[in-house]
Amino acid sequence: MNHASPSPTSSDVAGALRLRQLRAMATMLVAVATFSLMDAGLKLLSAHYPPFQVAALRGAASLPWVLAWALSSGGPRSLRPVRWTLHLLRAGMGIAMMAAFVYALRTLPLANAYSIFFVAPLLITALSGPLLGERVGPRRWAAIVIGLVGVIVLLRPSGNGLLSTAALAVLLAALMYAMSAITVRWLARTDSNQAMVVWLLALMALGAGGLAWPHWVPLRAEHLWLVAGVGIAGAVGQYAITDAFRRGEASLLAPLEYTALVWGVLLDLALWHTLPDRITWIGAAIIVASGLYLLRRERVHVEAEHP
């Protein structure tokens, strides 16, 4: 008799795919939450140490955990860098991004910083045309312009508005993040994920540490647990976001990054007893809506190319 197991039906395949996507979404939510906890730790450290020193501590604290993951998942060969110049360029942008963001967190609440930083996906789309040769249509440009209007709403002329160097520092961090993301697209053609993550953290720790050294502040014993927490949260977040994008579609997962705003509000309330004002909510809503529209247009574009 033939006891072969029956072939899976279309409903079985659809159910398995749905479960895979749900797991990817759950993992992405974990990534956003742990990165938010890391940012809260960076904000606490920023009150006691210079921005470049905090950037160096973030890279050094996460490096051992990420290195262990890289070696266990890809082995030593996966760490071999192919395009050194791009790794160095990305590390430089990573140092600028982290130092600018930490500088901003000294005075800005997490929710405000996140609201401004959400302009990064718009910048990635805007830069993908001239730097990657991708076509950015009029609808996408319209969404980018609307998103920038949201930024102007957030940077209103007040004590925390256009004259705020902290808000401008977040914009610089978002620009560095966007350019780094485009660099990843180039690097991914030749280098592994493990190499990109490990060398970014290693070079960031060395580069930011060198810049911070003339004004290095000795670490206080009561802050060691905070540095360790930042390192673990950053490593867990990096692993989770990598696993999420390996399992699920980018167009499905990217909108979940906006849940960082919820974590920012909760952490601001719990640790610093602050809440965003009405103008911040309006500006954030404009930026998030334009970002979600861009993601929807991207999905439509991909489906049209690959029906």
Task: Let me know if residue 84 belongs to a domain.
Answer: yes
- Measure the CA angle with vertex 287, ends 282 and 290; round to 5°: 125
pLDDT at 164 over 90: no
Task: Note whether residue 4 is domain-resident.
Answer: no
- Where is average pLDDT lowest: 84-88, 190-194, 300-304? 300-304
For range 97-126, the mean pLDDT: 93
Question: Can you give the pLDDT at residue 157?
Answer: 53
16 part of a folded domain: no
Determine, yes or no, domain membership for 49: yes
In a domain, 3, yes or no: no
Tell me: the pLDDT tens digits for 64-80?
999 999 999 999 999 99
Percent residues over pLDDT 90 in the chain: 58
- pLDDT at position 234 is 94
In a domain, 18, yes or no: no
Helix axes 84-105, 110-117, angle to 10 degrees: 140
Q: What is the average pLDDT score of the chain? A: 88
Confidence at residue 13, expressed as pLDDT on a 0 to 100 scale = 66
Size of the chain in residues: 307
Number of domains in the chain: 1
**Angle of CA points 170, 123, 212, to nearest 5°:** 35
Judge whether residue 1 has pLDDT over 50. Answer: no
The per-residue pLDDT for range 194-216, each reduced to its tens digit, is 999 999 999 999 999 999 999 99
Residue 10 resides in a domain: no
Domain holding 51, by residue range, is 24-305
* Among the ranges given (15-19, 223-227, 287-291), the one the predictor scored with the smallest mean pLDDT: 15-19
Task: Judge contact between 204 and 94, C-beta under 8 A.
Answer: yes
Question: Can you give the three-state secondary structure of 143-183, one letter per residue?
Answer: HHHHHHHHHHHHCCCCCCCCCCHHHHHHHHHHHHHHHHHHH
Do 209 and 56 meet the contact criterion of CB atoms below 8 Å apart?
yes
The band of 162, judged by pLDDT with boundaries at 50, 70 and 90, is very low
| pTM for this prediction | 0.88
CB 86 within 8 A of CB 187: yes
Query: How far is CA 235 from each of CA 59, 60, 61, 115, rounded to the nearest angstrom?
Result: 10, 11, 9, 24
